[in-house]
Each structure stands twice: as C-alpha cells, then as structure tokens.
Amino acid sequence: MKGAIEVEQARLDREEVRKWLINFQHEEVMRRYAHVEHGEHLRDLFEKYMYPDFDHRAEYVARNEMFRWVSNVFKSGKMERLMGAASVFLGRHLEAIKGEKDLPKYLEAVIETYDIACRSDECMTDALLDIAHSDSDLNAENYRLVYKKCSKYEEREIQIRNLVAAGDYAKAIVERGGFLDFVIETMPRIPLLSRNRAVFAFNETVTMIKAAYRAFKKSKPHLDELSDTIQAIEFGYLNDLMKSGE
C-alpha cells in the first residue's frame, strides 16, 4: 500500500504542476476573449505576447526582464552610451523613442504586472502541490481555491488597471499617427553584431511594440468599446474567483 501511494504521489512534480497552471491560465484568457466582438487582433496579442502558454514561457520571461532593463536605461539617461555602436542603426528612431516621456511609466506598469503574476504563480504552484496527488486534482475547482488563497484583490486590481492604462497609451499613440506611425513601422531590429545587452533588449522591445501597435491600429475604430469590454471581463472574472467558496 505504501508503495502504491508513493507511486501515485510521484506522478506530479513541481514543474508538471507549474506547466498545468500556466497552460490553464492561458486557456482561461483565450476563453474569456473568444467571442469578443472586434477583438481578434487583441486576442492574437494576448495569445502570443501577454498570456502565452507554457511552451512560450521562456520568451515571455525574457521579454519582461528585457523591459525591466530598458526601463532602467530610460531612467539612467544614458541610452546612447549603453546602446554603444548599435545606436548608429537607429538614428531618428532613437530620438523619437527618447521623446516619448511617458514610455518609462508604462514600461514600469508592465513590469509591475509581470512581477505580481510571477509571485502569484509561484504561490499557486506550491498550493496546488499541497492538494494535488494525481492529474485529476489539477482542475478548475482547485485552481479557484489556490487563486483565492494566493491573490490579494488589490494586486489583481492593479494588474487590470495597468492593462487598461497601457491600452489607453497605445490608443493615444495610434491616434497621433503621423511621424510616430512612421517611426514605429520602420523601426529596425539591430543586427546582432555583438553581445551588447542593450541590442538584445532593444530588439525584443521593437518586436513587442510593433505587434501591440499593429493590433491597436487594426482595432482603431473599436478601441474605446474594447477598453470598456476588457475592463468588464477582467473585473468580472476576478470578482467571480475571489468570491468562490464563500
């Protein structure tokens, strides 16, 4: 009997539980937005960049850590020196980026949201490990239990507010258009001629900014409606999970 119990418990290790958790959260996001009218472009952004599945988790982590570094570069006021020779490839693009005085604030909001998610995921993984002894224990009911245990309403609210604020910032950039539109659409990825950390950070930022900008640009006629919808969906989901079991 003891051997059978050990075999059953050995079926789940921490990484297996973590993988299930991340994939479940990804599927939940996709489910929430599956039928949002005019939301197809934002769904693609969520799926690939903001809420990826476990197989794309490494890129998600690397991207957010790079955003953290880019934010620190902005705050240092030493962008040209830190970018080194790579700044030659950027020209007026770099000047335009430096002119976006609000960008560091929104990068910090992205990082804050990411840090809250990481802390929550670690707590939820450990909590699931305490109650899951087989694959059947990895289910929506237990997810609700550990979500409530590991979440502070105020922090989850911050994540939603940051998401909406970032969307409003992207909307403002799309509406300004003109030269900034040209800058974003033509911004080059820097050839990886060295191991300059700034080059890798900048390239990842370019990829994310272009993807987000194009998603918002294609959704431009519906952005106000989508912003309200996203906020309603996320607060509805949060309130439902936090009250579950009461």
The pLDDT value recorded for residue 174 is 85
The pLDDT value recorded for residue 60 is 86
The pLDDT value recorded for residue 17 is 97
The pLDDT value recorded for residue 7 is 43
Measured CA to CA, the distance from residue 246 to residue 148 in angstroms comes to 10
Compute and round to an integer the Cα radius of gyration of the chain. Answer: 20
Count of structural domains within the chain? 1
The pLDDT value recorded for residue 4 is 45
Tell me the one-letter amino acid at 184: I
The pLDDT value recorded for residue 83 is 63
Mean pLDDT by 10 residues, the chain (246 residues): 48 91 97 94 90 90 83 74 60 66 84 96 97 94 96 96 90 78 71 62 73 89 94 97 72
The pLDDT value recorded for residue 162 is 94
The pLDDT value recorded for residue 186 is 74
pTM above 0.85, yes or no: no
**pLDDT for 200-234, tens place per residue?**
666 767 777 788 888 989 999 999 999 999 999 99
The pLDDT value recorded for residue 199 is 67
Q: Any idea of the CA torsion for 31, 242, 109, 178, to the nearest 10 degrees? A: 40
- Domain of residue 69 covers 2-243
Measured CA to CA, the distance from residue 15 to residue 9 in angstroms comes to 14
The pLDDT value recorded for residue 63 is 82
Q: Residue 209 CB: number of other CB atoms within 10 A?
A: 16
The pLDDT value recorded for residue 22 is 98
